[in-house]
Structure 1
Amino acid sequence: MVYEAAPLPVNEVARNARVHRSGVMDVHQEERYGLYVELAKMISDCPVAYTGLLDEDRQFFLAKDFGGLIDADEVPRNLTLCQYALGSTDPTIVQDLRNHPKLKHNPLVTDPPNWVFWGAYPLVTDDGLVLGTLCTVDYQPRTMSPEQIQGMEKLAGNMTLLITLQMQERDAITERMAKLAGYFRKSLPKTSPAAIEAFLNVCGGIPADTEALKDLEANGLVDLTGSVPDLTASGRELQAEHGLNAATYRRTISASSSLNVEDLFAMMD
């Protein structure tokens, strides 16, 4: 029998928008989220655990331990078990998937690795949007004690907080970048994207393009007389005004695979 897709949550549009705003889709951060998977296995005593967010098309795994039986960073949403957990802020715990009227038809149940037990703990924002799940799996039927369920709920809540804080930091950085673009548009309209990137790199103590640095020097923002490029008084004033200390800029780089300076420059158009 064909595996049936779950009904869409009533807040699906807002939910999807928040998932994309989170900035974690397609960003590999196993080191950051792997701990939640390991703790989930310990709390539940299950051999398999995974966590990820679901948008309109797919489930992207933030971290996973499938026991070496599955090797994928994402799966189509319509093939997931977790699509059935998006409509409630309560855990979805199925003692035996083989007996569930809908989930028993999922390929993960009917075919190897033949999952049996499945527990899904939603990643719920403060305003009730389910971004994704933290899940545990076993190959035999099992029950969870109230203490285990409570522990998993707390773990999922902590992970949601981490995602939310990361999203808020990205939003703050985006605002700073927009203000910086406004400065260059108004004060130095001929500044190239490469020069803006070089300025950000100097702020973060990262090597920068030589020709771009010369442009910054000509505009009085960078001093090239020393062994390494340094900000002038005007450059430091601009750095402070836009909150671009080294730690902030490095977090910008770590929060995304790369800083798209072309997008930043587009703000100036």
Structure 2
Amino acid sequence: MAVARIFGKSSMEALQRETDRLAALERLDLLDTPRDEGFDRIVRLIKAVFAVDIGLVSLIDAHRQWYKACSGLSSDEVSREDTFCRHVVDREEPIVVTDATKDQRFSYHPAVTGETHIRFYAGVPLKTKEGHIIGTVCAIDRSPRSFGNRELAILEELAGAAMDRIELLQSAATDSLTEALTRRAFKQEADLFISLALRHQHDLSCIVLDIDHFKQVNDTYGHAAGDEVLKSVAATCKAALRAGDLFGRLGGEEFAIILPHVDREGAVAVAEKVRSAISSQPVCGDYGTLSVTASLGIAGLSIVSKDIETLLAQADAAMYQAKNRGRNRCVSWSTVQAEHTMGSRRRVLKAGSILFNDRRSTIDCTVKSLGIDSAGLSVSSSAGIPPEFVLSIKGEGFETNCQIIAQDRQNLEVVFR
């Protein structure tokens, strides 16, 4: 009742729609997944068919618009508040802006007034079969232009093709670039490994590794060089592992390993072996010779960490610590746990707010995993966020004090105080 009094009926309906939308996006588990040629082809088609500068297929979570495929822009995501596409999600219908300088919603937008120089925008919803809008498909240009019903119908067909591709990827087991398991397939297989370990009471460990300074490789040498680095790291990892180990690609430059019948001490030794192998294997090409390193986090099966989401959350937290301690190193969750406890987690996708400075400062975030005593958060930038703050989950009446235990530039692991 208190929430209803504060927000009103229409606001409550909007909050419920957003909650349902994020839940649909969470079920697909597509955010921050690797590039895919099928989506790249769609954005190339958008540019060719409409003769525009920019083609875009995006997913929109609680705080950002993330580009699953993009041609014509250098960034890979933007704050949700700073994107034209939030209006498509809010209105749940296509939007066409023939000249942004003459549209009061966008005429003062930095993308219009600044160097990006956006003038034309056409965005249509990326909609699931259940009707949830999880993102957008867009044609964007730096010159004003007309866009009739025929063009809009074609863009909607391309959005349908993008959604078909999403549905197809739900059954994909192998990442086409690295031949590692996809994130979804890795988690499914990991659940089976964990069930066996619990049933037969044998050890199991998890390693998460992230390639150091990978964005600089893409920005400096291009995506082709980045792809070669990814393939090299994946091949090096697989060569260092046993046939029965599980190896998957969680995101762009993040991989994970499940080690059955290996305790935490043994997993630290395996992680060090993998780290050393990666650092001693330079990647060579037309761009020259690149030295590659990775940061690794290790977590072991326990009475608390007996599901894949909790194991990954603990290994992630340890990996962020490895990054913070200088990169190219291995850190075990047990060393982080000496100072902080973390119970079991479940994967979620919820809209949250980070409140600090006596609640005068607010930063939107996406809650990615949640337990009774901890959470994993995603932010546009972790710079400036203090070590302790208040986390609020919108529309749920949830609010608690938090302390950061590990972080990188866009992710926070926090425990509740």
State yes or no: 1:24 paired with 2:24: no
1:108 is matched by which residue type in structure 2?
A
In the other structure, the counterpart of 2:239 is 207
Change (3 A) 1:22 1:117: same
- Counterpart of 1:108 in structure 2 is 111
Deviations 1:84-134 (A, max 9, x none): 110244321111112222122211112222211100021111111111111
1:133 and 2:139 aligned: no
Residue 117, structure 1, aligned to residue 117, structure 2: no
Amino acid at match of 1:190: H
Residue 148 of structure 2 is matched in structure 1 by 145
- Give matches, 1:79-228, under 5 Å: 79-167=82-170, 174-187=187-200, 189-193=201-205, 206-209=238-241
User: What's the % identity of the aligned pairs?
Assistant: 22
Distance of 2:16 and 2:202 partners within structure 1? 48
Looking at structure 2, the residues matched to 116 and 194 of structure 1 have their Cα atoms a distance apart, in angstroms, of 48
Q: Is the 8 A contact 1:89 1:128 kept in 2?
A: no
Q: Of residues 285, 306, 311 in structure 2, which corresponds to 1:267?
A: 306
**Alignment partner, residue 226 of structure 1:** none
Residues 25 and 53 in structure 1, CA contact (< 8 A), matched pair in contact too: yes
| Misfit runs of 4+, over 6 Å | none
**Distance in 2 of aligned mates of 1:22 and 1:103:** 31
Name 1:239's counterpart in structure 2: none
Question: Cα deviations across residues 58-94 of structure 1 (Å, max 9, x unaligned)?
Answer: 111122222xxx4212111111111111024432111
Distance 1:165 1:30 in 2: 12
Closer, same or farther in 2 for the Cα pair 1:255/1:80, shift >3 Å? closer
What 5-or-longer segments of structure 1 have no aligned partner?
1-6, 196-205, 214-228, 232-243
* Structure number with bigger Rg: 1
Aligned in 2, Cα 1:191/1:208: closer, same or farther, shift over 3 Å?
Answer: farther
Cα pair distance change 1:114/1:156, threshold 3 Å: same
Q: Deviations over 1:27-46 (max 9, x none)?
A: 33053421111011122221
SS at match of 1:114: coil
Distance 1:135 1:9, change over 3 A: farther
Aligned residues: 214
Higher relative contact order (CA 8 A, sep 6+): 1
- Bigger strand share: 2
Q: Which moved more, 1:85-94 or 1:148-157?
A: 85-94
Query: CA 1:255 to 1:78, structure 2 compared with 1: closer, same or farther past 3 Å?
Result: closer
- Residue 161 of structure 1 aligns with an amino acid whose one-letter code is D
Report the CA distance shift for 1:253/1:96 in structure 2 as closer, same or farther (over 3 A).
same
Query: Would the aligned equivalents of 2:122 and 2:139 in 1 still touch at CA under 8 Å?
Result: yes
Alpha-carbon contact 1:53-1:133 (below 8 Å) kept: yes
2:66 to 60, 75, 79: 60
